Chains A and B, each alone.
Chain A
Amino acid sequence: MSIILDISKVDMVFPTPKGDFTALQGVDLQIKKGEFISLIGHSGCGKSTVLNIVACLHKATKGGVLLHNKEVTEPGPERAVVFQNHSLLPWLTAYQNIELAVKQVFKNKMSKAEMKEWIEHNLRLVHMDHARDKRPDEISGGMKQRIGIARALSMKPEILLMDEPFGALDALTRAHMQDSLMEIQQKLNNTVIMITHDVDEAVLLSDRIVMMTNGPAATIGEILDVNLPHPRNRLALAEDMEYNRLRSAVLTFLYEKQRKVEVIPPPEASKPDETEQVKSSVA
């Protein structure tokens, strides 16, 4: 299949008061149409930064992102984002939140009635049609996240970017949402990049798992192909040899190869500062 998205040798340097901070170095990844990619790595390694660069909410310091071999420089609805904390507009109802997206994206392509039907279709897709006229503060976290997903899907994106979409949910809701997402992905065959902290989620949903090294100057450590047949069933997979091999491969990467060295501050809080002062005075 053809390459739809090419993340090409991306470096990201954030200017900070203490000098430049290199968050990403040489991130390089080609994604095929219809592929489901999971991005996994320790907290703070730079996963969100990668996603934001693909969405063009950040501009890469070096390298760039090609969609259909054309460099993207502006955010756009063809790379829809499901944000970490749903990001629904609190003054709009579920329906209106999706309507804002649909009206913008299909301005001259759909009639009013078609738009209405399309919005309702997307609400049904995430099983949220019963909450169509509720505002975000009237529904639960899982419901908000589902409407966030429906909003992203309603844009008919070529690439669906999801930043820990289920991070804030309880285990049961999360499992339910994962099943919904699998079902939707099978139906629509979207190209998806999803950030996750959850090893089971990554193996269950992905075609490839991209594992990132720890920052600073994080990059892609290993890529794991997941060749489990679709549709996948979490209960059946629990016994599956291949599933467990993949699972332990990810765990090995995260907890042995990229073991996060936790910096626990010493009891005297002033110590690190002193050493820094010494360093700077030497310099």
Chain B
Amino acid sequence: MNIKKLIMTYISAKAQTFILPLAGICCFLLLWSLTASSIDTSLGKFPGPSAVATQVGNLITEHNAERVKKDAFYLRQDQRNQTRMAKDPSYQPKERTYTGKETFIDQIFTSLITVLSGFLLAAVIAIPLGIAIGLSPTLNSAINPIIQIFKPVSPLAWLPLVTMVVSSVYVSVDPMFAKSFITSLITVTLCSLWPMVINTSFGVISMNQDWVNVSQVLSLPKLVHIQKIVLPASIPAIFTGMRMSLGIAWMVLIAAEMLAQNPGLGKFVWDEFQNGSSQSLSRIMTAVLAIGLIGYLLDRSMLQLQKMLSWDKSSAQL
């Protein structure tokens, strides 16, 4: 009797964490393949799971092929330079960089680097700003209207402005970063800024008054007060803001890349759409799933970081 009960509870626990999600995914795949086969488009049938699986294989093969080409290019260049050097020791070897096609996997990395850089830049601005706003009611009243107005603006509306400003301001002979990268990055920064500013300042404002009293009794200097009391106290709120921001940043980046034709997953999707081959739809569908998966992994990593850094374990759940 008891053992039966035990087994039941064990199974139900397993069901919660394992079997039910698996069943959900299976149902989804089934529904997807059923509906996909009944949707006809001008580019053929809507891609089902199997088409996507094939494309995953294709995309990886293409990536590897491109890598082989790249390696071969550099090998040839080295050999050429060496033979010229052997003939003529005063020869200055030429180093050209390989300009092959960006593969799906390259695009994933471009997007990831862009989103993380934009997000980090935003955090570097937003967290000190949020703390300053939270600590100073004057600053809060002064800045709050600005935040409230800019917060609801879709960053895509900024994109043309950002593009124009970057192309006129960011001029250098040998730019360290591509203009397209800077544009995407600033767009991401603009949209990740607000949730972090708002959450950080909220965390500071709603800080437990007792902790402030402790700091006052100790007569902590302002900077020590911020470092030892304010910052740790608002860490849970800061992380909430960061997770929100990162989620938004990822969504916005893909859209911005599509709109501005900046390298990244968004451009991949757009190019495939323009391409209009029989494979396009399944490749786009693959990209859609990859975007979702990466978004999920970004959020999980943020959560993991929060679990590592935050003292408040209860706020670091889900």
The smallest C-beta distance from B311 to any residue of chain A, in angstroms, reads: 4
Contact of A85 with B by CB under 8 A: yes
> CB distance A101 to B218 under 8 Å?
yes
Q: 1/0 per residue B199-231: CB within 8 Å of A?
A: 000000000101101101111100010001100
With contacts A90-B312, A104-B224 known, is A80 near B217, CB below 8 A? yes
Q: In the bound complex, do residue A83 and residue B213 qualify as a contact, i.e. CB atoms below 8 Å apart?
A: yes
A55 on the B face (CB < 8 A): yes
Q: A83-B210, A85-B210, A135-B311 are in contact. Are A91 and B217 (CB under 8 A)?
A: no
B interface secondary structure, majority: helix
Contact bitstring A82-115, B, C-beta under 8 A = 1, else 0: 0101010111000000001100110000000000
Minimum CB–CB distance from A50 to chain B (whole Å) comes to 15
Give the B interface residue count (CB, 8 A): 18
Residue of B nearest to A91 (CB): B311
Task: State the Cβ distance, A273 to closest chain B Cβ, in Å.
Answer: 30
Q: Does B232 contact A (CB under 8 A)?
A: yes
Complex: A101 Cα to B218 Cα, angstroms? 6
- Given contact pairs A90-B311, A91-B311, A100-B228, A76 touches B219 in the complex (Cβ within 8 A): yes
Known: A100-B228, A104-B224, A135-B311. A89 touches B214 (CB 8 A): yes
Cα distance, A55 to B235, chains bound together (Å): 28
**In whole Å, how far is B50's beta carbon from the nearest beta carbon of chain A?**
51
Least Cβ–Cβ distance between A169 and chain B, in angstroms: 18
Contact B213 A74 (CB under 8 A): no
B232 near A87 (CB under 8 angstroms)?
no
Decide: B217 and A76 in contact? CB cutoff 8 A. Answer: yes
Of chain B, the residue at the smallest CB distance from A81 is B217
Which of chain B's residues has its CB closest to A83's CB?
B210
Asked if B213 and A104 sit within 8 Å, CB to CB, the answer is no
CB distance from B219 to the nearest CB of A (A): 5
A26 within 8 A of B: no
A87 contacts B210, C-beta separation under 8 Å: yes
Asked if A87 and B214 make an inter-chain contact with CB atoms under 8 angstroms apart, the answer reads: yes
Residue of chain B at shortest CB distance from A90: B311
Residues of B within 8 A of A (CB): 208, 210-211, 213-214, 216-220, 224, 228-229, 232-233, 235, 311-312
Q: Give me 26 A-to-B residue pairs in the complex whose CB atoms sit less than 8 angstroms apart, sorted by A's number.
A: A55-B217, A57-B216, A74-B219, A75-B213, A75-B216, A77-B217, A77-B219, A80-B217, A81-B213, A81-B217, A83-B213, A83-B214, A87-B208, A87-B211, A87-B213, A89-B211, A89-B229, A89-B232, A89-B233, A91-B312, A100-B218, A100-B228, A104-B219, A104-B220, A135-B311, A155-B218
Enumerate the 4 nearest inter-chain pairs by beta-carbon distance, A residue then B residue, closest first. A91-B311, A87-B210, A75-B216, A91-B232
Known: A83-B213, A87-B213. 9 other contacts (CB 8 A): A75-B216, A77-B217, A79-B217, A87-B210, A89-B211, A89-B214, A104-B219, A104-B220, A104-B224
